[in-house]
Structure formats: structure tokens, C-alpha cells
Structure 1
Amino acid sequence: MVFAPWRALPGRVVFWALNLFSAIALIFEGYNQGVMGSVSSSPGFIETVKMGSNGIVTDATKQGGIIAVYYFGAMFGCFFGGRFGDKAGRKLAVIVGSIFALVGGALQAGTVNSSMTIVARVITGIGIGFVNTIVPAWVSELAKAHSRGASFALVFCANYVGITIAYWIGFGLRHNTTALQWRFPLAFQVVPLCILLITVWFLPESPRWLMAQGRRAEAIEILAKIRGDLAADDPALIEEIEQLDAIVASSHHKRYRFVNVTFGRFSGKLHLGRRVALAIGIMLMMEWTGILAITVYAGTIFTQAGFGGTKAAWLSGLVNAIGILGTIASIFTIDRFGRRISLYFGFFIQSVALFLSAGLSRIGQLNPDKAAAYGAASVAMIFVFTFFFAQTVLMIAFFFPTEIWPQEIRAFGNSYAVFGWAIGCGVTTLIIPSMFSSLQWKTLMVFAVFNIVCLPLVYFFFPETKGRTLEEINLLFTAESPFVAANEKEFAERIVQANGNIVEAERRLMREVDGAIPGKDLESREKENIEKDQRAPK
């Protein structure tokens, strides 16, 4: 008998256990982003990796490179993780990714030179590529359509919890003069990984992934459980299963191969290439808002604003704690106002906050007698930026790409988003030290302009997914035009043609994409695919 202790638990307990597990994974992701802020400025670490002397960084490019190489590993890990997660399951992919990250974290903590640090961070990056690809997709697959955003927001609070933990550990060890000052923060990242590896065995697999693999009975059992121990004949459960059944027939189509997805070949009305562009684009937009300047180099910003080392350090920890409040606030707004309005609001407020922070910091430099007051105002704008970033852009950038992909390749599709995240993080962490060195306060103005540029991109190209089922979202990409207005119009027309029946509209779309097989209707083809998968060796 398969080891499945979740069967003995109430459905709601299983659902929240899955979300708690996902939150722990995101604590690790957030911790890893925040930990290098304090580590890279530790005198012992600076000496060990030879990027400066006497506790002062003299090679800003090397500093940025050591931080950025982590994202280089993630660029590869995301595609391996996505493809592996769609073939072998969400659980096994998380296990493999956690093992990579565990090994990388241990090597980082024991590093003796820059070469070892770089290799260790690449290995950790591969692991986070797996985790970042699988966990957000898994969360989306578990949630209901009307509360999918809120469910993700609740779990994603853990990301800022991880960043905050990293900063406060660094702050607590700032006066330690031994190697513990930087080795302990690097070693601590293995704690959430160990929890993941222990708990993942006790959780059920994603029902949507099981359905795409033809393991229908298991999928229905798990879906009924996490929806609150529903009976097999419950109308809500039957409706959700019908939508899932509509995608099984095409689960192994050649359009889902890497090259074909990347360039949108053979996808027809599904327009997979367009989804690749949106998944990568939303992540690049998010990373170029200036958030990494705050997450990794907050101390530098506060020092330029006129604060001393100790005060700048605890302010860095506090500003990331504000991010937790922002993610909590998004629970109440992301499904109420939708993805598009939230992005408009976020990018606009962020640009204003950065312009003001940069300007106030500069005025403080020009007026030394009032530097404290202007410095405090400048820091206040950074807090405003962080709160609204966490509430809007951050949440949607990680969440939106998990919604827009067909179930057959949801994890693999999300790997393109993680690829965009890795590129955005890698490039910005590499150049930010040099930007602060040469542009100083103007650095924030550069990022403020990026925020403004993002507004028309959202308006024209990013469709609204609020309140729509994951299967229904396929219908939002059927127009030949990439513009939102054209796709919304065709979406409405397809629903009308199907007499308001979403499942029928999806079936018609897949008939159109796959082409009809003479003498066989779609239901017969679905049944054949299910039987074929059941006969295949596991």
C-alpha cells in the first residue's frame, strides 16, 4: 500500500499543510536573496574571497558577480526543474531541488576561497531554480479560482519572512569578529531545506498533475480531500473535474517540447510563445523596479541618506519586515481588484516613491544642517516603496506566470518565469554596486523610470486572470493579436458560441488546436489517452 498518511487527516488540515509546506520553501528562497546583504559586507568574507582588504570592498564587480552567480545556476535549474516536475511530479522535483540547495548551502558555509564560493552558489542556484519553478505552480494548482490570488499571497508572505530573518541574523552578528559572523548565516539556510525534505513525504501530489498524467482516480481522491472531504457526486467537485478532463487528450503533444514552446511552434491558437514572453517579461519588470537595490543593498541606500552603520543595518532589517505587511495586505486586494489594476497602482506608487527618495537624499547632501530630516524622509519613501511593491508587483510577478500555462506543462511553463527572474536578479545584482559607486543617489531615479515604462506594457499585453479557472485561462490567448483587448473580445465570442459553457468552449478550442481524428470524438480520444497512460510502466 502506498504511504499516504494524509488520508487519515481532515481535508482542510491537508490543504493548509500543503500551503504551510509551500511557505517553508519560500522562506528558503527569500532567505537566500537576503543573506548576502550582510555576508558580502563582512570583513572575514571579504578577505576569504579576496574582493577587498581591511573589511572594505575594493572590487565591486567581483562582489556583484559572487552574488549574481547564484542566479546563473537558477537559469539552468528552472528548466530542468520545470521539465522534471511535469514528468515526475511536484513532490519529487521539490526533493531533488532541495538536495541541490542543501549541498550548495553547506559548501557556501564551508567556503575557503572565491572559486569554492562561486561553485557552491551555482549549485544552490540550481536548487532554487527547481523550488521556485515548482512551488508557485503547485500553490496555484491547489487553490480555487475565486481565491487563487489570496491563497498565493498568504503563502508568499513567507518570502519576506525569509528575507527578514536573513537581515536580522546579519544584524545580530554584526559585532562578531570571528568567521561565525558570515559562516552561520550561510549555514542557516539548510534549516528550511531539512524541514522540506522531511515533510514532503507526508503530503499528497498535485491533483492537476495527476490528472494530466492520466491518474484520474488518484487526482479525484486528492481533490475531494483538499476541497473539504467532498462526496464524489458533489456538483462543485464534478464541475472542476470536467474542466480538468478537457485537457487530458493533448497532454503529450509535440508542441510541449522545449524548442517548440520557446518559439511558439505548433501551438496554434494556444500561442505558447506569447506566454513565454509574458512570463519572462513580468519577472524582468519586477526585478528592474529597484527592489534588489533595497533587498541586497539597503544598507548602502541608508548610508547615502546620512545614517551611521548601526542605524543603517537595523533599518535594513526593518524595511524588509515591512514587506511582510505588504504581502499580508495583498491577501485582501489581489482577488478584489485583480492583477492589472494592482500592477498599475504598484508601478505608479513605486516610481513616485523612488523619485522622492532620491531627491530627498540629494537635498540632504546639499544641506548638511538639515541632512537628518531629509535623510529620514528619504528612508520613509523606501518603506513606502517596499510595502506597495510587496502588495502588488512582487505578488503578481511570481503568481501570474503560474496561471497562464496549460496544465500539461504548468511547471515547465513557469520555468520561463524563473528564467526571467534569474536574468533580472543576476543582471541587477551584478551592476548595482557599480551603479551606487558611480551614480549614487541617481541610481534610484534610474529605477523610477523603469517603473513608469512598465505601465503601458501592462495595459497592452497582460490579460486579467482574476476569477477565472486555470483551464479557462487558455481561452485568453486565442486571438492572433497579442493585445489584451483583442483577446478579451475573442474570449467573449468563444463563450457565446459555446452557449456560456466554459467546458464546452475549452473542448472546442482543443479540437481546433489538435485537429479532428476522423471517426472519433474528443471524449473517445481522451479515454484512449487515459487508458494508454494507465498501461504505461510507472
Structure 2
Amino acid sequence: MFASKTSKVDRAAVAGASHLNNKVGPWWNDPGLRKLNFLIFIPLMSEYVQGYDASLINNFHEPKGSLLGILSASYWIGNILGVFFITPLSDRYGRRMAMFFGSIVAIIGTALCTGAINAGMFIAGRLLLGIGGVVVGAIGPVLVAELAYPSQRATATALSNTQYSMGAIVAAWITFGTFRLNSTWSWRIPSIFQALPSVCQAIGIFFLPESPRWLVSKGREDAALRILAHYHANGDREDEVVQFEYREIVGTIELEISAKQTKWSALWKANGNKWRVFIMVWFGICKQWSGNGVVSYYLHTMLNDVGITTTLDQTLITATSQMFSFACSVGFAFLPHRVGRRPLLLWSMALMWLVFTIITILTGVFTNTGSKSASYASVAFIYLYSGVHNLGWTGAMMLYVVEILPYSIRAKGIALFWFVTGAAGAFNTYVNPIGLNRFGYKFYYFYVAWIAVEFFVVYWQCPETKGTSLEDVALIIEGDKATISKANPVVEEFPEKTEPVSRVVTEHSGKVD
């Protein structure tokens, strides 16, 4: 579909990257980085709402079938509606205000769900949760990537997706404690706690600095330099790393604006952007259609299929499997800067295919023979599935979709990614319960085949982006047609050297002299 030849050429150019670092010793000994990384926890909570929602619905044992599908899909329909707020809010009013808006909407949605007196009111609340959740979920990783210290950007951005599992853990244990209640509080109490991260973010956002890249795009270069200096060099505006970052950001954004690359039409005009759009669409589909939609939202149905039917057993498995998933997601978030993005994505998909295939076989064995061994083994592989999914499609995936987008279309590209994710999620969560009710474990065959398709598309269309600055990724995607600044050093992640090697890049191109 898209030629991968350019990525190989550009990789050779990028290999001469400069090593930028002004830190000695661990980051927590540096006052600026210590404060910044503490504040970054605010946008890091952005995926909590979505993970909480998946686990909450998974622990609803009533209703069933189509109504359960509607309740599940309503959140994703809200996601689809919410993506239309992402670009105008984040590009016009800033990353922080977009997150504040999303948090307030999510709080209102939680209030409606908690006070619901009928299914319609509950669905309306979930729609608002979906709108607010997608705005926060989309902008959170972007703000993390645009604020993080260069050598820590990959890990920080990868960590942004780990809060999905944290939300799922909290929801699972709260429902474990309330499912015995013989009143509506059995589901109202869990609904209340879905607002926890939104309240924290709505308050905490006012202590968080704005994205320097957004400030530059609005002509506020001095404010951008002040933030970079304060957090990356403890106030030293003349610091070498800060000056490189600042010139890189200002130069590239000015070139993008002058080249009129800030409109929606830019998404389909240039071949490089068409490639990016394809990746956004494909990753949005992969995020939902890799079997994780069944494991996240309909784990209780999978457990029913292998003879584990008690509410206590199912709730315990849900809670503990999410704890395992969270541990894996946090641990694997430190891998992208070491081994790259592409290997993690591919190994994750290959292992997901293998594990999901084994789950399908074991479920079929139990269905046909009633084997207890097959039942217990299937549960073990359900746990394992969460681990292998997190290997690539939690941290590395979110990092990849953020960094391959240049600033001028970053919010638009992320909005497109979440639109496709929401559409795929809505279809997935509505169709899955129907398919599971009608076909049982044989419904898993679809995912076994589809994961294989996803693997080969990612293999052919996704180049490696490790070892580049946020601006310099354009070289890998577009080669000598990349629009980047003249003084545009590539920042290696976790560098060991401090001496920069200057590079000169021809204006409106990525050609290295």
C-alpha cells in the first residue's frame, strides 16, 4: 500500500543523531524534572475512565444480550461524538483546557449514571462519560509527550496507557465488594468511583504547565521557552538542551504553518500524511478488534463458557487478572526506548494470536468434554492474554500514534484515531454479546483469523521510530520531503553522551547536508 523504502533511507540519516542530555544521576535528584514528572501524573490518569468502564460493565451480570450490548456500546458512541471536540478545543484553547472540559463532562456523566432511575438515564450518562473520556484519553498522552524531557518521552508517553488497567482494577474490587448488596447501591457505588480521576484532573490541570508546542503555535515563544527552561534545566534559558529543543520546536512549527499544513485537508494531500492516516485508522481498529474487546467487556461470558459460573469466582478472576495486566503494562512501558516500537507491536500481536488460539481450543475442549483441566488452563491463558496484549498494544502503541504525527496535525490525527477506535468499539461491544450468545466459543474463530491479518499489515506498513525527537520522526515517514527545522537535532532516548553533533537540514525538506 505505502512504500517502506523511504523509512530505510531516513533511518540511515537519523542514525547520525546527536546525543542530548544535561542531567547527571537519576532524574529524581533534579528539582525541575522531579516537579515535572510528578505533575505528569495528572495527564497520565487519562485512560483510567475507559479501563474502569470496561471492568464495570464486565461485572454487570444483568442484563444480557442486546440490552447489555447497548449499555456497553453507549460509551463508545459517546467516544465517537466526543472526537469532534478534540481538535477545536486542544488547538484553540490549549491542551490543558481540553482536558478540563473532558473531565467536567465525565463528572456530569458519572452523576447521571449514579442517579439513574431507568435504563435511558443510565445510557445518557454513559454517552457523556464517553464524550468526556475520549477527550481526556486523546489529549492526555499528547500533553505528556509534548511536556516530557526528551530522553524520558518514550517511557512517559508509554505509561499514559497503563492507567486503563488501574481503572479496571479499582472497578473490579469495588464491584467485588458491592455485588452482594440487595439494592441499587450494588451498581450506584461503583458508578460513583468512576468520577475519581476526572475530579483529580479537573483540579490538577491548573497546576500543570501548558504544552510549549501549543504556546509556540499561538505566538507565545517566550512562555514556551520559560516552561522548557524551568522544567528541563531548572530555569537556565541558555542551557544547551533547552536551546536545541526550543529552536527545533519553533523552526518546525513555523515551517508547518507557512506550508499550510494545519488544515484538515493536509491529512490527505501529502503521501506522508496519507500514510499516517492509514496507520491511525488501522491502529484504531487493532485497538478494539484484537480479542481484547471480548476479554475486557465480556470476560464473565468467557468464564461461563468454561464452567466458571459463580459471581464470586468471576469477580475474583476479573480483579486479579487486571492486577496482573497493570503490572505487565507498567513493566512493559519501559521497553519502547530500549527495543523500539515495531518489535514490541509485532511480538505482541504474534503472541496474542497464539494465546487466543489456545483459549479457543481449550474452550472447545471443555464444551465438548467437560474437562476441568481445560477449564483451568483456559483461565490461565486468559491471564496470559492480558500480559501479551500489554507488551505492545498498551504503551508502545500509544507512543507510536502520538509521535508519528507532526504538531500541525497531531490533534487532528489523534481525533481520527479515537473516532475509529470509538466506532470499532461501539460495533465490537454491541456485536460481541450477540455473537457469543449465538455461536458460543466458535465466535472466537473470527478473532483468531483477524489478529493474523492485523499482524501482517503492521509488519508491512509500520516503520521503526526509535531514537528520534518528536519533530524528527517526519524524516522516517516522509524522507527528504519532510518539513522540519534547519537546526533539528535528533534526540536519542536515554542517551549516554552529552556532546551534541549539529545537523543542518534544508528548509522545507529533510535532507541532511
**What range describes the TM-score normalised by the shorter chain of this pair?**
0.7 to 0.9
Give 3-state SS (helix, strand or coil) of 2:40's partner. helix
Q: Is the 8 A contact 1:83 1:412 kept in 2?
A: no
Cα 1:499–1:375 change in 2 (3 A) is closer
Cα 1:256–1:499 change in 2 (3 A) is closer
TM-score (norm. length: structure 2): 0.85
Match of 1:153 among 150, 158, 164: 158
Letter in 2 for 1:35: L
Aligned to 1:41: 61
Aligned to 2:51: 30
Q: Matched residues in 1 for 2:43 and 2:165: separation? A: 14
Deviation of 1:166 (Å): 0.9
Q: Is the 8 A contact 2:50 2:164 kept in 1?
A: yes
Q: Matched residues in 2 for 1:293 and 1:499: separation? A: 44
Matched, 1:362 2:368: no
Deviation of 1:256 (Å): 2.6
Q: Is the 8 A contact 1:86 1:412 kept in 2?
A: no
Deviation of 1:397 (Å): 2.8
Deviation of 1:247 (Å): 2.0
Q: Matched residues in 1 for 2:329 and 2:290: separation? A: 17
Q: Matched residues in 2 for 1:428 and 1:502: separation? A: 49
Match of 1:336 among 321, 338, 341: 338
Aligned to 2:257: 251
Aligned to 2:14: none
Deviation of 1:74 (Å): 1.2
Q: Matched residues in 1 for 2:369 and 2:137: separation? A: 45
Q: Matched residues in 1 for 2:137 and 2:87: separation? A: 9
Counterparts of 1:80-159 in structure 2, within 5 Å, are 80-159=85-164
Deviations 1:368-424 (A, max 9, x none): 3xx221111111111111011112122233222111111133223211111121112
Q: Matched residues in 2 for 1:323 and 1:499: separation? A: 37
Deviation of 1:34 (Å): 2.1
Cα 1:176–1:345 change in 2 (3 A) is same
Cα 1:503–1:191 change in 2 (3 A) is same
Q: Matched residues in 2 for 1:506 and 1:435: separation? A: 55
Q: Matched residues in 2 for 1:437 and 1:405: separation? A: 40
Aligned to 1:70: 75
Counterparts of 1:282-361 in structure 2, within 5 Å, are 282-309=283-310, 310-361=312-363
Letter in 1 for 2:294: A
Q: Is the 8 A contact 1:326 1:389 kept in 2?
A: no
Greater RCO between the two (CA within 8 Å, min separation 6)?
Answer: 2
Deviations 1:20-79 (A, max 9, x none): 1122333233212322222x324xxx4xxxxxxxxxx3xx12211221121112112123
Aligned to 1:10: 31
Q: Is the 8 A contact 1:246 1:507 kept in 2?
A: no
Cα 1:502–1:123 change in 2 (3 A) is farther
Deviations 1:426-469 (A, max 9, x none): 11101110121122112333212221111221122112111111
Counterparts of 1:173-252 in structure 2, within 5 Å, are 173-229=178-234, 231-249=236-254, 250-251=256-257
Give 3-state SS (helix, strand or coil) of 2:394's partner. helix
Q: Where in structure 2 are there 5+ consecutive unaligned residues? A: 1-29, 491-500
Cα 1:459–1:167 change in 2 (3 A) is same
Letter in 2 for 1:139: V
Counterparts of 1:272-283 in structure 2, within 5 Å, are 272-283=273-284
Q: Is the 8 A contact 1:35 1:170 kept in 2?
A: yes
Q: Matched residues in 2 for 1:467 and 1:230: separation? A: 26
**Which stretch shifts more, 136-145 or 281-290?**
136-145
Letter in 2 for 1:41: H
Q: Supply the RMSD in Å over aligned alpha carbons.
A: 2.5
Give 3-state SS (helix, strand or coil) of 2:507's partner. helix
Cα 1:507–1:330 change in 2 (3 A) is farther
Deviations 1:308-327 (A, max 9, x none): 31212211111121111111
Deviations 1:254-300 (A, max 9, x none): 54323x145x13xx46x323312211211211211111111111111
Letter in 2 for 1:97: G
Give 3-state SS (helix, strand or coil) of 2:340's partner. helix
Q: Where in structure 1 are there 5+ consecutive unaligned residues? A: 1-8, 47-56, 479-486, 512-538
Q: Is the 8 A contact 1:85 1:412 kept in 2?
A: no
Q: Matched residues in 2 for 1:365 and 1:274: separation? A: 44
Deviation of 1:507 (Å): 3.0
Q: Is the 8 A contact 1:171 1:314 kept in 2?
A: yes
Aligned to 2:374: 374
**Which stretch shifts more, 421-430 or 387-396?**
387-396
Q: Is the 8 A contact 2:103 2:202 kept in 1?
A: yes
Q: Is the 8 A contact 2:160 2:395 kept in 1?
A: no
Aligned to 2:424: 424
Letter in 1 for 2:148: A
Give 3-state SS (helix, strand or coil) of 1:185's partner. helix
Q: Matched residues in 1 for 2:455 and 2:45: separation? A: 33
Q: Matched residues in 2 for 1:229 and 1:220: separation? A: 12
Deviations 1:85-140 (A, max 9, x none): 01110111111111111111111111122222222222221111211121011111
Q: Is the 8 A contact 1:33 1:163 kept in 2?
A: yes
TM-score (norm. length: structure 1): 0.82
Q: In the comparison of the two structures, how many residue pairs are matched?
A: 468
Q: Is the 8 A contact 2:105 2:128 kept in 1?
A: yes
Give 3-state SS (helix, strand or coil) of 1:509's partner. coil
Counterparts of 1:378-417 in structure 2, within 5 Å, are 378-417=378-417
Letter in 1 for 2:55: G
Letter in 1 for 2:380: A
Q: Percent identity?
A: 24
